Structure 1
Amino acid sequence: MSSRRATTAVGSLIAASVSVVLTLSFPAGADDPGPGSSKGGKVVDAAPAGVRTTTSLPERISVDNSSGKTSITATVKNEGTQDGEQIRLLVVGFDGLTVKSVQGCAAIAAKDLPEGSNSGFSCPIGHLAAGSSKSYAVDATFDLKKTGKICLPVQTGDGGKTYWQQGPVPFGTTNPSPNAPATPLLLGTDNAPVGPGGDEPPKTGVELPKTGVGRDLLPLGVAGASLLMAGAAGLWWSRRPAGPTAS
């Protein structure tokens, strides 16, 4: 093979390699929700010594613009050095985000939902070993004409204490995509509702402290007003009497 032909062949191989890398990496990046985040989370009641319970949500989800369907992975972790006692995870939706099902969990009766929420599921976890985690597949819908929030409290099995609560933290976008097949939403971002003029309905109710990084105020509406009267400092379930628990 001549030097010129060899140079041409090598150049073609390099070009093909670059093409393959771009073709494979771009779709993976588009579909990858990124690492989980505990944004909007806060300790409520002190956990037993050596136990550190937290939760995480994906940094990004995608909402189908036709059906409004989306999927979310909710993860609970024991980042401590000791095994935990029996706990349960609650997955609760607010406003435009409605939780339809959570794998392995039971729906919370409407009468036992926190005020202001529209849906919720209770997930009995049992004892979570030190350094271990458990993830749940959450099926939900998101009305892009509204804002939407999700909340993950981690409680004792009887609901008497809340060791950790993430949220209510919003998913949203400041750049709606009504003509695209799907709209990506980011954790910790207030949604800009899709509608005539893209205007968001005026906020009402009491403003309470947010718990996420870079978030100063979290509007909780009617639920917030009830919490202030109860002196719960924005943690709406930290002192709530336990309702029926799924087994």
Structure 2
Amino acid sequence: MRSRRRATITGSLAAASFSAVLILSGTAGADDQGPGSDKGGKAVDKAPAGVELTTLLPERISVRNDAEETEITATVKNGGTRDSGPIRLLVVGFDGLTVTNVEGCSAISRGDLPEGSNSGFACALDDLAAGASKSYDVDATYDLDSTGKICLPVQSSDGGTTFWQQGPVPFGTTNPSPNAPATPLLLGTDNKPVAPAGDELPKTGPARDLLPLAAAGATLIAAGAAGLRRTPHRPT
């Protein structure tokens, strides 16, 4: 897709099975994604003293209508006063958003994906210094006829503790543009696919407040309810 300018993270990824129950964005250039946002993020388990881990996603992405492809910048930050030690970031896709690659990270096998997700990558960091951040280039596809969500949990290296989780948070638009070269999507917006008479969105399953990664021993907090219903507008 696009040239990669960020360094690949080195370090071993702890072997852990992700089988269980669970857990963006770009234009043709990352510079067009707007400022990063922690919308839909929540601290989960207590981090070590002096460590403050969060994530950021772009406020907007752009999906190319011909191939339904997009690029996302996912960022993990340590806003604390002490180095983090070994941690890992997960990048997980849901519904119409499928993560196809995260540079420098390892794909989670389909059988080990969290329940309800369709794709995911695990990114190992040996350490994240106090005040530092690390950004990853994420390649994804987005089915514009559906809804789409992404989730960024930050865990201990063995997956036993989840310090922070952003999402699953939607990208979407209430103003589809099928005849344009690309469709802009906003973070925290439920997608309204192009449909005759404004048909309601496809349902994406029951809302979840807790989405545990059982085999990894992590608890992932899901933000918001999935599958919001939209009522067709009828002229009077």
TM-score (norm 2): 0.76
- Would you say the 8 A contact 2:61–2:184 is kept in 1? yes
* Alignment of 1:241 onto 2:218: no
Mapped partners of 2:70, 2:200: distance in 1: 21
Bigger relative contact order, structure 1 or 2 (CA pairs below 8 A, ≥6 apart): 2
Q: How does 1:1-247 map to 2 (within 5 A)?
A: 32-203=32-203, 205-207=205-207, 224=208, 234-237=209-212, 240-242=214-216
Which structure: larger Rg?
1
Mapped partners of 1:204, 1:112: distance in 2: 20
Shift in alpha-carbon separation, 1:115–1:81, aligned structure 2, 3 A: same
Identify, as 1 or 2, the structure richer in helix.
1
**Match in the other structure for 1:16:** none
- Would you say the 8 A contact 1:152–1:166 is kept in 2? yes
Shift of 1:112: 1.2
Shift of 1:134: 0.3
- Would you say the 8 A contact 1:76–1:135 is kept in 2? yes
- Would you say the 8 A contact 1:41–1:165 is kept in 2? yes
Mapped partners of 1:204, 1:113: distance in 2: 17
Shift in alpha-carbon separation, 1:162–1:181, aligned structure 2, 3 A: same
Deviations 1:63-82 (A, max 9, x none): 00010000000000000011
Unpaired segments ≥5 residues, structure 2: 1-30, 218-236
Shift in alpha-carbon separation, 1:149–1:204, aligned structure 2, 3 A: closer
Identity %: 72
Aligned length: 187
- Would you say the 8 A contact 1:65–1:180 is kept in 2? yes
Shift in alpha-carbon separation, 1:141–1:125, aligned structure 2, 3 A: same
Shift of 1:201: 3.5
Q: Secondary structure at the match of 2:174?
A: coil
Q: Secondary structure at the match of 1:111?
A: helix
- Would you say the 8 A contact 2:146–2:202 is kept in 1? no
Mapped partners of 2:109, 2:177: distance in 1: 34
Shift in alpha-carbon separation, 1:204–1:188, aligned structure 2, 3 A: closer
TM-score (norm 1): 0.72
> Which segments of structure 1 move beyond 6 Å, counting only runs of 4 or more?
none
Mapped partners of 1:194, 1:61: distance in 2: 18
